[in-house]
Chains A and B, each alone.
Chain A
Amino acid sequence: MKKVFRTLALLALTCSIGATAQASTPEEDLKAFQDFYKKRFPNVETSDYVNGAYSIDPVGRENWEAIEEFPPYEPFIDDGMTMWETPFANGKTYKDCFPDGPAMKGKFPHWDKEKGMVVTLELALNQCREANGEKPLKYKKGPINNIVSYIASESRGQLTNVEIPKDDPRALQAYEDGKKFYYTRRGQLNFACAHCHLQNAGMILRTEVLSPALGHTTHFPVYRSKWGTVGTLHRRFTGCNKQVRAKPFKAHGEEYRNLEYFLTYMSNGLPLNGPGARK
Protein backbone atom coordinates (compact mmCIF):
# COMPACT_ATOMS: atom_id res chain seq x y z
CA MET A 1 0.00 0.00 0.00
CA LYS A 2 2.82 2.37 0.97
CA LYS A 3 4.47 1.61 -2.33
CA VAL A 4 1.32 2.59 -4.19
CA PHE A 5 1.14 5.92 -2.34
CA ARG A 6 4.80 6.56 -3.01
CA THR A 7 4.36 5.83 -6.70
CA LEU A 8 1.30 8.08 -6.89
CA ALA A 9 3.10 10.89 -5.09
CA LEU A 10 6.03 10.57 -7.48
CA LEU A 11 3.67 10.60 -10.44
CA ALA A 12 1.92 13.73 -9.16
CA LEU A 13 5.27 15.44 -8.69
CA THR A 14 6.34 14.49 -12.20
CA CYS A 15 3.08 15.83 -13.62
CA SER A 16 3.46 19.13 -11.79
CA ILE A 17 7.00 19.48 -13.11
CA GLY A 18 5.66 18.74 -16.57
CA ALA A 19 3.10 21.53 -16.21
CA THR A 20 5.76 23.99 -15.05
CA ALA A 21 8.06 22.96 -17.83
CA GLN A 22 5.42 23.94 -20.39
CA ALA A 23 6.97 27.43 -20.52
CA SER A 24 8.26 27.86 -24.05
CA THR A 25 10.83 30.06 -25.68
CA PRO A 26 9.80 32.77 -28.16
CA GLU A 27 11.34 30.68 -30.94
CA GLU A 28 9.17 27.70 -29.96
CA ASP A 29 6.11 29.94 -29.75
CA LEU A 30 6.79 31.30 -33.22
CA LYS A 31 7.11 27.85 -34.72
CA ALA A 32 3.97 26.53 -33.04
CA PHE A 33 2.05 29.66 -34.07
CA GLN A 34 3.08 29.58 -37.71
CA ASP A 35 2.73 25.78 -37.94
CA PHE A 36 -0.85 26.09 -36.70
CA TYR A 37 -1.79 28.15 -39.75
CA LYS A 38 0.10 25.88 -42.11
CA LYS A 39 -2.04 23.00 -40.92
CA ARG A 40 -5.23 25.04 -40.75
CA PHE A 41 -4.93 26.52 -44.23
CA PRO A 42 -2.56 24.22 -46.12
CA ASN A 43 -3.21 25.96 -49.45
CA VAL A 44 -2.25 29.42 -48.25
CA GLU A 45 1.32 30.51 -48.79
CA THR A 46 2.84 31.87 -45.58
CA SER A 47 3.79 35.09 -47.37
CA ASP A 48 0.15 35.68 -48.30
CA TYR A 49 -0.91 36.11 -44.67
CA VAL A 50 0.22 39.73 -44.95
CA ASN A 51 -3.12 40.27 -46.69
CA GLY A 52 -5.08 39.42 -43.59
CA ALA A 53 -8.55 37.96 -44.05
CA TYR A 54 -8.13 38.26 -47.82
CA SER A 55 -5.56 35.49 -47.76
CA ILE A 56 -8.33 33.05 -46.83
CA ASP A 57 -11.46 34.72 -48.25
CA PRO A 58 -11.52 34.66 -52.06
CA VAL A 59 -14.69 36.75 -52.46
CA GLY A 60 -13.50 39.40 -50.02
CA ARG A 61 -10.18 39.39 -51.85
CA GLU A 62 -11.79 40.28 -55.18
CA ASN A 63 -13.50 43.28 -53.60
CA TRP A 64 -10.33 44.32 -51.83
CA GLU A 65 -8.25 44.09 -55.00
CA ALA A 66 -10.77 46.36 -56.72
CA ILE A 67 -10.44 48.84 -53.81
CA GLU A 68 -6.64 48.70 -54.04
CA GLU A 69 -6.81 49.97 -57.65
CA PHE A 70 -7.55 53.39 -56.17
CA PRO A 71 -6.09 53.04 -52.66
CA PRO A 72 -8.12 55.06 -50.17
CA TYR A 73 -5.03 55.60 -47.99
CA GLU A 74 -3.02 57.49 -50.63
CA PRO A 75 -4.01 61.02 -49.54
CA PHE A 76 -2.86 60.10 -46.02
CA ILE A 77 0.56 59.07 -47.35
CA ASP A 78 0.87 62.41 -49.16
CA ASP A 79 -0.08 64.35 -46.04
CA GLY A 80 2.37 62.26 -44.05
CA MET A 81 5.18 63.11 -46.43
CA THR A 82 4.39 66.80 -45.93
CA MET A 83 4.49 66.28 -42.17
CA TRP A 84 7.83 64.50 -42.43
CA GLU A 85 9.35 67.36 -44.40
CA THR A 86 7.78 70.26 -42.52
CA PRO A 87 10.15 71.66 -39.88
CA PHE A 88 9.05 71.94 -36.27
CA ALA A 89 8.92 75.40 -34.66
CA ASN A 90 12.61 74.99 -33.70
CA GLY A 91 13.59 74.40 -37.32
CA LYS A 92 14.33 70.69 -36.89
CA THR A 93 12.40 67.90 -38.58
CA TYR A 94 11.57 64.25 -37.93
CA LYS A 95 14.73 63.41 -39.86
CA ASP A 96 16.80 64.85 -37.03
CA CYS A 97 15.34 62.17 -34.76
CA PHE A 98 15.41 59.42 -37.38
CA PRO A 99 18.49 60.05 -39.53
CA ASP A 100 18.01 56.85 -41.55
CA GLY A 101 14.88 58.32 -43.11
CA PRO A 102 11.24 57.32 -43.14
CA ALA A 103 11.78 53.72 -44.27
CA MET A 104 12.09 52.54 -40.70
CA LYS A 105 8.93 50.68 -39.76
CA GLY A 106 10.85 47.39 -39.75
CA LYS A 107 12.72 48.61 -36.68
CA PHE A 108 9.55 48.77 -34.61
CA PRO A 109 8.46 47.67 -32.13
CA HIS A 110 11.77 47.18 -30.39
CA TRP A 111 13.08 46.74 -26.88
CA ASP A 112 14.75 49.87 -25.55
CA LYS A 113 17.25 48.78 -22.93
CA GLU A 114 17.85 52.29 -21.64
CA LYS A 115 14.19 53.03 -21.12
CA GLY A 116 13.42 49.47 -20.09
CA MET A 117 10.35 49.27 -22.27
CA VAL A 118 8.98 48.33 -25.68
CA VAL A 119 9.08 51.31 -28.02
CA THR A 120 6.54 51.46 -30.81
CA LEU A 121 6.75 53.63 -33.91
CA GLU A 122 3.99 55.98 -32.76
CA LEU A 123 5.60 56.36 -29.35
CA ALA A 124 8.97 57.14 -30.92
CA LEU A 125 7.37 59.76 -33.18
CA ASN A 126 5.76 61.47 -30.22
CA GLN A 127 8.98 61.32 -28.22
CA CYS A 128 10.66 63.06 -31.15
CA ARG A 129 7.98 65.75 -31.20
CA GLU A 130 8.22 66.34 -27.47
CA ALA A 131 12.01 66.49 -27.59
CA ASN A 132 11.59 69.27 -30.15
CA GLY A 133 9.04 71.24 -28.15
CA GLU A 134 5.98 70.04 -30.09
CA LYS A 135 2.77 68.68 -28.63
CA PRO A 136 2.46 64.89 -28.91
CA LEU A 137 -0.12 63.63 -31.40
CA LYS A 138 -3.19 61.70 -30.34
CA TYR A 139 -2.55 57.99 -30.74
CA LYS A 140 -5.67 56.69 -32.41
CA LYS A 141 -7.17 59.32 -34.68
CA GLY A 142 -5.91 62.31 -36.59
CA PRO A 143 -2.52 63.35 -38.04
CA ILE A 144 -0.55 60.50 -36.47
CA ASN A 145 -2.12 58.28 -39.09
CA ASN A 146 -0.74 60.47 -41.89
CA ILE A 147 2.87 60.23 -40.83
CA VAL A 148 2.60 56.55 -39.93
CA SER A 149 1.01 55.87 -43.35
CA TYR A 150 3.93 57.61 -45.04
CA ILE A 151 6.50 55.70 -43.00
CA ALA A 152 4.67 52.40 -43.63
CA SER A 153 4.54 53.10 -47.34
CA GLU A 154 8.26 53.88 -47.44
CA SER A 155 8.98 50.71 -45.45
CA ARG A 156 7.12 48.31 -47.74
CA GLY A 157 9.07 45.16 -48.40
CA GLN A 158 11.09 45.27 -45.18
CA LEU A 159 10.87 42.06 -43.23
CA THR A 160 9.28 41.83 -39.82
CA ASN A 161 12.17 41.12 -37.52
CA VAL A 162 11.38 41.71 -33.89
CA GLU A 163 14.25 40.85 -31.62
CA ILE A 164 14.07 39.86 -27.98
CA PRO A 165 17.52 40.63 -26.65
CA LYS A 166 18.82 37.80 -24.54
CA ASP A 167 20.99 40.05 -22.39
CA ASP A 168 18.00 41.81 -20.85
CA PRO A 169 15.47 39.61 -19.05
CA ARG A 170 13.02 42.52 -18.99
CA ALA A 171 12.62 42.20 -22.75
CA LEU A 172 11.59 38.57 -22.43
CA GLN A 173 9.21 39.54 -19.64
CA ALA A 174 7.60 42.18 -21.89
CA TYR A 175 7.19 39.52 -24.59
CA GLU A 176 5.69 37.10 -22.05
CA ASP A 177 3.30 39.79 -20.82
CA GLY A 178 2.17 40.43 -24.39
CA LYS A 179 1.71 36.70 -24.92
CA LYS A 180 -0.27 36.41 -21.70
CA PHE A 181 -2.50 39.26 -22.85
CA TYR A 182 -3.10 37.51 -26.16
CA TYR A 183 -4.29 34.28 -24.56
CA THR A 184 -6.24 35.83 -21.69
CA ARG A 185 -10.03 35.78 -21.68
CA ARG A 186 -11.50 39.17 -20.98
CA GLY A 187 -14.70 41.16 -21.18
CA GLN A 188 -18.30 40.17 -20.73
CA LEU A 189 -18.05 37.82 -23.72
CA ASN A 190 -15.11 36.01 -22.08
CA PHE A 191 -12.98 35.90 -25.24
CA ALA A 192 -9.24 36.07 -25.68
CA CYS A 193 -7.66 37.53 -28.83
CA ALA A 194 -6.68 33.95 -29.70
CA HIS A 195 -10.27 32.72 -29.72
CA CYS A 196 -11.14 34.78 -32.78
CA HIS A 197 -7.87 35.09 -34.64
CA LEU A 198 -6.21 31.75 -33.91
CA GLN A 199 -8.72 29.09 -32.93
CA ASN A 200 -11.55 30.40 -35.12
CA ALA A 201 -9.64 32.14 -37.90
CA GLY A 202 -11.53 31.64 -41.15
CA MET A 203 -14.88 31.19 -39.42
CA ILE A 204 -17.63 33.69 -40.09
CA LEU A 205 -18.71 36.11 -37.37
CA ARG A 206 -21.90 37.81 -38.51
CA THR A 207 -20.91 38.66 -42.11
CA GLU A 208 -17.17 38.85 -41.60
CA VAL A 209 -14.44 36.26 -42.00
CA LEU A 210 -12.26 36.21 -38.89
CA SER A 211 -8.75 37.12 -39.99
CA PRO A 212 -5.71 35.05 -39.07
CA ALA A 213 -3.39 36.61 -36.50
CA LEU A 214 -0.38 35.70 -38.61
CA GLY A 215 0.36 38.84 -40.63
CA HIS A 216 -1.90 41.04 -38.52
CA THR A 217 0.79 43.61 -37.86
CA THR A 218 2.28 43.83 -41.35
CA HIS A 219 -0.38 46.00 -42.98
CA PHE A 220 -1.02 48.65 -40.34
CA PRO A 221 -1.98 51.43 -40.35
CA VAL A 222 -5.11 50.57 -42.29
CA TYR A 223 -7.81 52.51 -44.00
CA ARG A 224 -11.00 50.94 -42.70
CA SER A 225 -14.18 51.63 -44.61
CA LYS A 226 -15.99 51.41 -41.29
CA TRP A 227 -13.84 54.22 -39.88
CA GLY A 228 -13.79 56.21 -43.12
CA THR A 229 -10.17 56.98 -42.38
CA VAL A 230 -6.81 55.44 -41.56
CA GLY A 231 -6.28 54.09 -38.05
CA THR A 232 -3.42 52.68 -36.03
CA LEU A 233 -2.91 49.16 -34.73
CA HIS A 234 -3.69 50.29 -31.20
CA ARG A 235 -6.98 51.77 -32.35
CA ARG A 236 -7.79 48.30 -33.66
CA PHE A 237 -6.72 46.69 -30.37
CA THR A 238 -9.10 49.09 -28.64
CA GLY A 239 -11.92 48.13 -31.00
CA CYS A 240 -11.31 44.40 -30.49
CA ASN A 241 -11.37 44.76 -26.72
CA LYS A 242 -14.59 46.74 -26.92
CA GLN A 243 -16.14 44.08 -29.13
CA VAL A 244 -15.66 41.46 -26.44
CA ARG A 245 -17.05 44.04 -23.98
CA ALA A 246 -13.82 44.58 -22.11
CA LYS A 247 -12.66 48.03 -21.12
CA PRO A 248 -9.84 48.86 -23.51
CA PHE A 249 -6.41 49.88 -22.30
CA LYS A 250 -4.58 53.09 -23.10
CA ALA A 251 -3.14 53.24 -26.62
CA HIS A 252 0.64 52.84 -26.42
CA GLY A 253 0.37 52.11 -22.72
CA GLU A 254 2.35 49.15 -21.40
CA GLU A 255 -0.33 46.49 -22.05
CA TYR A 256 -0.81 47.27 -25.74
CA ARG A 257 2.88 47.92 -26.37
CA ASN A 258 3.74 44.48 -25.01
CA LEU A 259 0.89 42.97 -26.99
CA GLU A 260 2.26 44.57 -30.14
CA TYR A 261 5.72 43.23 -29.27
CA PHE A 262 4.41 39.66 -29.01
CA LEU A 263 2.04 39.86 -31.97
CA THR A 264 4.64 41.40 -34.27
CA TYR A 265 7.17 38.77 -33.21
CA MET A 266 4.66 36.10 -34.29
CA SER A 267 4.84 37.55 -37.81
CA ASN A 268 8.64 37.53 -37.95
CA GLY A 269 9.82 36.84 -41.47
CA LEU A 270 6.78 38.36 -43.18
CA PRO A 271 7.23 41.47 -45.33
CA LEU A 272 5.66 44.79 -44.36
CA ASN A 273 2.93 45.91 -46.75
CA GLY A 274 1.17 48.79 -45.01
CA PRO A 275 -0.77 50.89 -45.21
CA GLY A 276 -3.61 48.53 -46.02
CA ALA A 277 -7.29 48.82 -46.83
CA ARG A 278 -9.88 46.86 -44.91
CA LYS A 279 -13.65 46.78 -44.59
Chain B
Amino acid sequence: MHKKLILLLTLLAAIVCGGTTTTLLADEASAAKVQKLIDAADAARKEAASVGGEWRDTGKMIKKAKKLLKKGDYTAAAKLANDAAKQGHLGYEQAMSQKDLKMPSYLHY
Protein backbone atom coordinates (compact mmCIF):
# COMPACT_ATOMS: atom_id res chain seq x y z
CA MET B 1 0.00 0.00 0.00
CA HIS B 2 2.76 2.41 1.11
CA LYS B 3 4.84 1.61 -1.97
CA LYS B 4 1.87 2.12 -4.25
CA LEU B 5 1.16 5.55 -2.75
CA ILE B 6 4.77 6.66 -3.22
CA LEU B 7 4.71 5.46 -6.80
CA LEU B 8 1.47 7.30 -7.49
CA LEU B 9 2.72 10.54 -5.94
CA THR B 10 5.97 10.32 -7.87
CA LEU B 11 4.08 9.81 -11.08
CA LEU B 12 1.80 12.77 -10.31
CA ALA B 13 4.75 15.02 -9.50
CA ALA B 14 6.45 14.04 -12.75
CA ILE B 15 3.34 14.91 -14.74
CA VAL B 16 2.89 18.30 -13.04
CA CYS B 17 6.55 19.29 -13.35
CA GLY B 18 6.73 18.12 -16.92
CA GLY B 19 3.63 20.13 -17.77
CA THR B 20 4.99 23.30 -16.16
CA THR B 21 8.26 23.00 -18.00
CA THR B 22 6.43 22.50 -21.26
CA THR B 23 4.24 25.54 -20.57
CA LEU B 24 7.28 27.65 -19.70
CA LEU B 25 9.06 26.59 -22.85
CA ALA B 26 5.94 27.29 -24.88
CA ASP B 27 5.64 30.73 -23.24
CA GLU B 28 9.20 31.58 -24.07
CA ALA B 29 8.67 30.52 -27.66
CA SER B 30 5.45 32.58 -27.92
CA ALA B 31 7.06 35.64 -26.36
CA ALA B 32 9.93 35.45 -28.81
CA LYS B 33 7.55 35.06 -31.73
CA VAL B 34 5.45 38.05 -30.66
CA GLN B 35 8.56 40.12 -30.09
CA LYS B 36 9.57 39.36 -33.68
CA LEU B 37 6.17 40.50 -34.90
CA ILE B 38 6.49 43.73 -32.89
CA ASP B 39 9.98 44.35 -34.29
CA ALA B 40 8.68 43.79 -37.81
CA ALA B 41 5.80 46.21 -37.17
CA ASP B 42 8.20 48.85 -35.89
CA ALA B 43 10.42 48.40 -38.92
CA ALA B 44 7.37 48.86 -41.20
CA ARG B 45 6.36 51.98 -39.25
CA LYS B 46 9.85 53.44 -39.60
CA GLU B 47 9.88 52.71 -43.32
CA ALA B 48 6.59 54.58 -43.73
CA ALA B 49 7.88 57.46 -41.59
CA SER B 50 11.01 57.72 -43.75
CA VAL B 51 8.83 58.83 -46.67
CA GLY B 52 6.43 60.93 -44.57
CA GLY B 53 3.69 58.30 -44.78
CA GLU B 54 3.28 57.18 -41.18
CA TRP B 55 -0.30 56.84 -40.02
CA ARG B 56 -1.63 58.28 -36.80
CA ASP B 57 -2.18 55.14 -34.76
CA THR B 58 0.62 52.81 -35.86
CA GLY B 59 3.04 53.86 -33.12
CA LYS B 60 0.32 53.67 -30.47
CA MET B 61 -0.61 50.14 -31.60
CA ILE B 62 3.00 49.03 -31.29
CA LYS B 63 3.25 50.50 -27.79
CA LYS B 64 0.07 48.70 -26.79
CA ALA B 65 1.33 45.43 -28.28
CA LYS B 66 4.49 45.75 -26.16
CA LYS B 67 2.39 46.21 -23.02
CA LEU B 68 0.26 43.19 -23.87
CA LEU B 69 3.39 41.14 -24.43
CA LYS B 70 4.66 42.09 -20.98
CA LYS B 71 1.33 41.04 -19.49
CA GLY B 72 1.57 37.71 -21.27
CA ASP B 73 -1.42 38.23 -23.55
CA TYR B 74 0.36 36.88 -26.61
CA THR B 75 -2.66 36.44 -28.85
CA ALA B 76 -3.81 40.05 -28.48
CA ALA B 77 -0.24 41.36 -28.74
CA ALA B 78 0.40 39.38 -31.93
CA LYS B 79 -2.84 40.56 -33.52
CA LEU B 80 -2.06 44.19 -32.74
CA ALA B 81 1.51 43.88 -34.00
CA ASN B 82 0.25 42.36 -37.25
CA ASP B 83 -2.28 45.18 -37.68
CA ALA B 84 0.43 47.77 -37.00
CA ALA B 85 2.72 46.13 -39.56
CA LYS B 86 -0.09 46.26 -42.14
CA GLN B 87 -0.54 49.97 -41.41
CA GLY B 88 3.17 50.53 -41.81
CA HIS B 89 3.23 48.78 -45.19
CA LEU B 90 0.11 50.59 -46.41
CA GLY B 91 1.44 53.96 -45.24
CA TYR B 92 4.64 53.38 -47.18
CA GLU B 93 2.76 52.24 -50.30
CA GLN B 94 0.45 55.23 -50.05
CA ALA B 95 3.36 57.67 -49.84
CA MET B 96 5.06 55.98 -52.79
CA SER B 97 1.87 56.16 -54.85
CA GLN B 98 1.79 59.90 -54.12
CA LYS B 99 5.41 60.48 -55.00
CA ASP B 100 4.55 62.62 -57.99
CA LEU B 101 2.34 65.65 -57.67
CA LYS B 102 -1.07 65.04 -59.20
CA MET B 103 -3.05 68.19 -59.68
CA PRO B 104 -6.81 67.74 -59.48
CA SER B 105 -8.66 67.81 -62.77
CA TYR B 106 -11.23 70.29 -61.43
CA LEU B 107 -8.59 73.03 -61.28
CA HIS B 108 -8.56 74.70 -64.66
CA TYR B 109 -5.38 76.29 -65.87
Is B101 within 8 A of A36, CB to CB? no
| Residues on B with beta carbons closer than 8 Å to the beta carbon of A142 | none
Is B108 within 8 A of A199, CB to CB? no
Count A interface residues, CB 8 Å.
Answer: 29
Given contacts A28-B109, A255-B52, contact A183 B102 (CB under 8 A): yes
> Which of the candidate stretches A84-92, A184-192, A216-224 sits at the interface with the other chain?
A184-192
Q: Contact flags (1/0) for A223-251 with B, using CB distance below 8 Å?
A: 00000000000000000011001111100
Is B104 within 8 A of A183, CB to CB? yes
Min C-beta distance of A257 to chain B, whole Å: 14
Given contacts A24-B109, A28-B109, contact A183 B101 (CB under 8 A): yes
Closest residue of chain B to A241 (Cβ to Cβ) is B56
Is B106 within 8 A of A36, CB to CB? yes
Q: Contact flags (1/0) for A33-49 with B, using CB distance below 8 Å?
A: 10110000000000000
User: Is A162 on the interface with B (CB-CB < 8 A)?
Assistant: no
Is A33 within 8 A of B58, CB to CB? no
Is B52 within 8 A of A32, CB to CB? no
User: Is A198 on the interface with B (CB-CB < 8 A)?
Assistant: yes
| Residues on A with beta carbons closer than 8 Å to the beta carbon of B87 | 188
Is A198 within 8 A of B104, CB to CB? yes
User: Is B107 on the interface with A (CB-CB < 8 A)?
Assistant: yes
Closest residue of chain A to B57 (Cβ to Cβ) is A245
Docked complex Cα distance between A184 and B87 (Å): 18
Is B103 within 8 A of A187, CB to CB? no
Q: Contact flags (1/0) for B47-84 with A, using CB distance below 8 Å?
A: 00100111111110000000000000000000000000
Min C-beta distance of B84 to chain A, whole Å: 12
Is A246 within 8 A of B55, CB to CB? yes
Given contacts A179-B101, A185-B94, A186-B94, contact A36 B55 (CB under 8 A): no
User: Is B21 on the interface with A (CB-CB < 8 A)?
Assistant: no
| Residues on A with beta carbons closer than 8 Å to the beta carbon of B106 | 36, 198-199
Is B54 within 8 A of A247, CB to CB? yes
Q: Contact flags (1/0) for A82-105 with B, using CB distance below 8 Å?
A: 000000000000000000000000
Is B59 within 8 A of A247, CB to CB? yes
Q: Which of B54, B97, B103, B104 contacts A246 (CB 8 A)?
A: B54
| Residues on B with beta carbons closer than 8 Å to the beta carbon of A255 | 52
Closest residue of chain B to A194 (Cβ to Cβ) is B104
Is A183 within 8 A of B49, CB to CB? no
Is A32 within 8 A of B108, CB to CB? yes
Is A183 within 8 A of B103, CB to CB? yes
Is B56 within 8 A of A246, CB to CB? yes
Is B108 within 8 A of A35, CB to CB? yes
User: Is A141 on the interface with B (CB-CB < 8 A)?
Assistant: no
Sample (27) of A-B pairs whose CB atoms are under 8 Å apart:
A24-B103, A24-B109, A32-B108, A36-B106, A36-B107, A36-B108, A179-B101, A180-B101, A183-B103, A184-B98, A185-B94, A185-B98, A186-B94, A186-B95, A186-B98, A187-B55, A188-B55, A190-B94, A199-B106, A242-B56, A245-B55, A245-B57, A246-B54, A247-B49, A247-B56, A247-B58, A247-B59
A residues engaging B (CB < 8 A)? 22, 24, 28, 31-33, 35-36, 176, 179-180, 183-188, 190, 194, 198-199, 241-242, 245-249, 255
Would you list the 9 A-B pairs with minimal beta carbon distance, nearest first? A247-B54, A245-B56, A32-B107, A184-B98, A180-B101, A188-B55, A32-B109, A247-B56, A185-B98
